[in-house]
Structure 1
């Protein structure tokens, strides 16, 4: 029987070998990649209960393992039904007939969008999910059984694609590099082996190396400072730009524009871990058992898209985007419990302000419904 401890032990041993093969030190981006995506062992590569509303469930009176965190589609189906209004407009304007979703999680968002478009009399010919997790794919297939004719799964992008691309909480799970200013000098913070645990499991420790890498903005003040840069997330957007011949892209995640991201007061960085609806800031512990994320620098994402040939449709907080797309009207027709949950998506102290939406287009520019009011592209 595979247990969380045995998975952690096997993954820790795998990462330990990676460190040894690299000469005793790896960048945090390599560590994060191995912790999340090592086949069969990484957090997203084993098990399927990552997303949900409860840290545990009760079955036959016994407490069973539950989810680690909740995303917007699990909070309420109104998230996907509202986003579908933007998807429908984007498909019509760009003259395309396919949605591409990255990191589809439980499959809840795909189900909501497919249901909404079908209800509107605009059934979608094809919905393609790009996901490298076989365990999550099985859960998605069960969720989307009613749309088996429209949905397909791929683990790599074709050389050319058309359609509307969606990514909800995808960028935050992409590995980041850590930069640490110590005594006025910049270092790349990486990972080395620590002492072997009492059970024989390898442990890990931080280690800094001098580097020529710098944050994109100068950070005022003499204090030590820890932050991230996002080469993989920016590379992802450039790849989308190179493959997308016609269509639109909508990326939803938590983060800031560059001036806020690299503010002198944000001196501890944004890397955070999630397990059983609890957060901690130690990604080196319990590897494989918890999610590791970092907030998104949306200025970097925007510039990567523009440099690669995309145009920016808009950028705003999630609350404004969803209201522009008709969430309040959806809420009026819902029951009280659904309305209460939907408020979490738009309230400033919940997800409404921290979460942002950025949109891109390939082709001719157009006015996207979600950015009709409150567009903050000028802040990027």
Structure 2
């Protein structure tokens, strides 16, 4: 993978590449990208998502989908961005299979990994599963889509640019190569990048650096094009504008994860670890409004799960600490009292006339 990055650097005019190109290659390169070749999830991977903690997460999410579909009078069609291994999608389908009562569930995943897509496509009784390489491809198949667009830790894995303010001058931080090793360099921030930040009120103090999420523009536009009527449910970790100004965020939020350990230098072991950042929630919400996507609420994941009944899923059991019921109860406590509840946010938006 290092050779691929170094070739891109050598082919560039000024012998450096922006961070978003580096991240795109490191994570999504068709031959050697992290998400193509690595088993990223779970105990044997590099990080946990909520669906790997316990099935109870998918149980609550399934309850949200079916309740909201009935209240809003929209089809029970879920489109998941970044389906990953398909674990969450499978859990939700299993949960809803018992309560569909003759209704049809469609569950579509958007996933770049072709092996995941191939495994997912099937029809099981009244559940239709299909997959697509992109949201644009999905839109072609469902040009009048009504339902849910869901994502869980999808935005944080998108490529970003990096900027830093030094002595009142804004620089873009780029990736270059020295003596066979990848390292950072800087250049004056391009005009288009500065203008994009100014239009979205992304400000930065002297001595601070931050990620610039250009991807929000294209993803939001594609969601708006795909969704005629329904909800956008986005689960991720992120900050609002005030939180970005805190001294703790002085170095930005770009990080790597390998074997469940945080790595501050993402230029090491390229293609062997996850690369992630925190979402700019204000930018995400305001970009949606440009396309008549209405913001409903931003809340902690623990608050969302409590609202949709996770506490009612606690089960009485004896003292067998390794029983299935005890395991489920521990998972619920971790979702409410642990980092899984406090670190993640749930953003709810809607488009079209909702009943």
Q: Give the TM-score band, short-chain normalised.
A: 0.7 to 0.9
- The equivalent residue for 1:38 is 29
Query: For 1:21 and 1:89, how far apart are their aligned partners in 2?
Result: 53
Q: Extract structure 1 runs of 4+ deviating beyond 6 A.
A: 144-148
Query: For 1:185 and 1:315, how far apart are their aligned partners in 2?
Result: 34
Query: For 2:125 and 2:346, how far apart are their aligned partners in 1?
Result: 27
Is the CA contact (8 Å cut-off) linking 2:105 and 2:126 kept in structure 1?
Answer: no
**Residue number among 184, 189, 194 corresponding to 1:206 in the alignment:** 184
- The equivalent residue for 2:265 is 282
SS at match of 1:339: helix
**In the alignment, does 2:28 pair up with 1:12?**
no
Is the CA contact (8 Å cut-off) linking 1:187 and 1:210 kept in structure 2?
Answer: yes
TM-superposed CA distance for 1:148, in Å, is: 10
- The equivalent residue for 2:293 is 310
TM-superposed CA distance for 1:264, in Å, is: 4.2
- The equivalent residue for 1:228 is 211
Query: For 2:113 and 2:35, how far apart are their aligned partners in 1?
Result: 6
- The equivalent residue for 1:78 is 56
**In the alignment, does 2:16 pair up with 1:25?**
yes
Query: For 2:231 and 2:148, how far apart are their aligned partners in 1?
Result: 5
**Residue number among 328, 334, 340 corresponding to 1:351 in the alignment:** 340
**In the alignment, does 2:137 pair up with 1:154?**
no
Query: For 1:313 and 1:124, how far apart are their aligned partners in 2?
Result: 27
- Per-residue CA deviation, residues 208-241 of structure 1 (Å, 9 max, x unaligned), is 1111424734345x4x111111110342122101
- The equivalent residue for 1:58 is none
Describe the shift of the 1:136–1:74 C-alpha distance in structure 2 as closer, same or farther (beyond 3 A).
same
Runs of 5+ in structure 1 lacking a partner?
A: 1-10, 55-65, 197-202, 367-380
Is the CA contact (8 Å cut-off) linking 1:251 and 1:357 kept in structure 2?
Answer: yes
Describe the shift of the 1:42–1:328 C-alpha distance in structure 2 as closer, same or farther (beyond 3 A).
same
Cα RMSD (Å) of the superposition?
2.2
**In the alignment, does 2:121 pair up with 1:126?**
no
Q: How does 1:71-150 map to 2 (within 5 A)?
A: 71-92=49-70, 93-122=72-101, 124-137=104-117, 141=120, 150=128
Describe the shift of the 1:277–1:180 C-alpha distance in structure 2 as closer, same or farther (beyond 3 A).
same
SS at match of 2:79: strand
**In the alignment, does 2:306 pair up with 1:323?**
yes
Is the CA contact (8 Å cut-off) linking 1:174 and 1:233 kept in structure 2?
Answer: no
Count of residue pairs brought into register by the alignment: 332
TM-superposed CA distance for 1:145, in Å, is: 9.2
Is the CA contact (8 Å cut-off) linking 1:33 and 1:175 kept in structure 2?
Answer: yes
Is the CA contact (8 Å cut-off) linking 1:311 and 1:365 kept in structure 2?
Answer: no
Describe the shift of the 1:365–1:263 C-alpha distance in structure 2 as closer, same or farther (beyond 3 A).
farther
Query: For 1:125 and 1:304, how far apart are their aligned partners in 2?
Result: 30
TM-superposed CA distance for 1:259, in Å, is: 1.6
Is the CA contact (8 Å cut-off) linking 1:317 and 1:356 kept in structure 2?
Answer: yes
- The equivalent residue for 1:337 is 327
Is the CA contact (8 Å cut-off) linking 2:230 and 2:354 kept in structure 1?
Answer: no
TM-score, normalised via structure 1 length: 0.82
TM-score, normalised via structure 2 length: 0.87
- Per-residue CA deviation, residues 111-165 of structure 1 (Å, 9 max, x unaligned), is 2211221222345431111100124446x549x9967962111112324322211
